[in-house]
Amino acid sequence: MIDNTQRSNRTGADKGDDVTRARVLDSAAALFAENGIDRVTTRAISERAGANVAAVNYYFGGKDNLSVEVFRHVARESAERRFAGLDRILENARIAGGPPPIRDIIEVFVDAYVSADAPRNGTLLAQLVLKHRLSPTHWTQAVVQEELDPLAKRFISVLCLAAPYLEVREVHWRYHMMAGAVILTMSDRGAGGRIERLSEGQSSVDDTETLRAELVNFATTAFGPTAD
């Protein structure tokens, strides 16, 4: 039989575990955003979380499982936000009696990567997609297919409505090229960025406001009619 003291102690321990687990998750997300996924060790994560060096294995069973949880959360949150944004655009277009504006759709897409209220999530999302392209693993495959592929299909279907002068295959091409441009540009952040070097300081990915505007302008133009 468990007395009240034992029950209280166990509850306190459980709460302590939850707090430590959350610190490990947040520390991993911060370090992944700062350094990239592959350059972060489990020791560094545990130290930043102020936890035992074995904390990652204890709470998650290893770095891969921890990575899945970090990036699945980021991808799911991003997808939910963008699904909601597309729904609003479609509803406004229905009320107005016209096609959804291409620029509005592009702004919803870019917002996931360049957002003033969640900059770390944008960096993490770009890292996830880039890692999946360059060195895919079983967990990047799972997260991208389950969390991001349905969203990509939704964007493509809405862009088809917005640009009826394009064939479906052309929308697919331009969507993937847009995604590639955004991801590659996001990967240029930090000291020694190529765009900053080539432009001799006139352009910088760290200038978030300009970055967002230029990405939206570029991608919006890409979905315009093709000149004969």
Q: 7-24 burial string, b = 16+ CB within 10 Å, else e?
A: eeeeeeeeeeeeebbebb
Name the DSSP letter for residue 50.
Answer: T
For residue 2, is pLDDT > 90?
Answer: no
| pLDDT classification of 190: cutoffs 50, 70, 90 | low
Please give the Cα distance from 151 to 169 (Å, whole number). Answer: 17
Q: What angle do CA 103, 105, 110 make, to 5 degrees?
A: 90
Domain shared by 138 and 218, yes or no: yes
Distance CA 4, CA 9 (A): 9
Tell me how many domains the chain contains: 2
Digit-coded pLDDT (tens) for 140-175: 999 999 999 999 999 999 999 999 999 999 999 999
pLDDT in tens, 18-65: 899 999 999 999 999 989 898 999 999 999 999 998 999 999 999 999
Q: Are residues 14 and 29 in the same domain?
A: yes
Contact 99, 162 (CB under 8 A): yes
Is residue 72 a contact partner of residue 45, using CB atoms and an 8 Å limit?
no
Residue 114 C-alpha from the chain's centroid: 9
Q: What is the CATH number of the domain that holds 44?
A: 1.10.10.60
Residues 79 and 50 in one domain: no
Give the pLDDT mean for 198-213: 92
Residues spanned by the domain of 170: 62-222
Q: Which of 14, 35, 61 is the last residue of a domain?
A: 61
Q: Which two tokens stand for residue 12?
A: 């306190």
Do the beta carbons of residue 16 and residue 61 sit within 8 Å? no
Percentage of the chain surpassing pLDDT 70? 90
Contact present, 189 and 206 (Cβ < 8 Å) = yes
pLDDT at 179: 95
- Among residues 102, 127, 123, 122, the alpha carbon closest in space to that of 112 is found at 122
